[in-house]
Copies of this chain bind each other. A is one copy, B any other.
Amino acid sequence: MKLTARKIGAVLKSRGYRLTPQRNAILSAVTASHDHLTPTAIHEKVRREHKNIGLVTVYRTIELLAELGLICEVHSGGNCHSYLLRRPDQHHHHLICSGCGTVADFTSCDLSDMEQKVSRQTGFDINSHLLEFMGLCRSCQKDDRPEGSVSGAK
């Protein structure tokens, strides 16, 4: 089940939230992007169409979407406040391209063996984990830029 702006809108309504033009614009921006976006980046994108939407509204909408589990946070690449539409329903992790910021999903994560081992070694009772992979996506591998010419993922 892929989330679209429309579907997310329906979720909001069903939860008693209003579907405003501002929220719709933000939903479109987020669902349209394959990158992870910072609040400011979302604001800039949305602004092109929707001139005087406030950055505050972006923050508030992000908070809402995160609460409802509709977006994911990405840590890699220096920026800890970068968001992405939640694509797989299940537990999953992300691969972040350090070239263009594109994010791919990865659902078959099995860390249970490692968790057990670590648990035994340290005595910790583990209840969650954070896992992200960084690298270059197919198209950035081809581009094969000289160095330090990162474009996306500001």
Contact = CB atoms under 8 A, between A and B. Distances in A.
Interface string A108-133: 11100011011101111111111111
Contacts of A126: 95, 133-135
Contacts of A122: 95, 104, 106, 137
A150 B135 CA distance: 35
Contact of A75 (B75, B133, B136): B75
A128 B133 CA distance: 6
Contact of A123 (B75, B119, B138): B138
Q: Is the interface of A mostly helix, strand, loop or mixed?
A: mixed
Given A123-B138, A125-B141, 14 more contacts: A75-B75, A76-B130, A95-B126, A97-B124, A98-B127, A106-B118, A108-B117, A110-B114, A124-B138, A126-B134, A128-B135, A129-B133, A129-B134, A130-B130
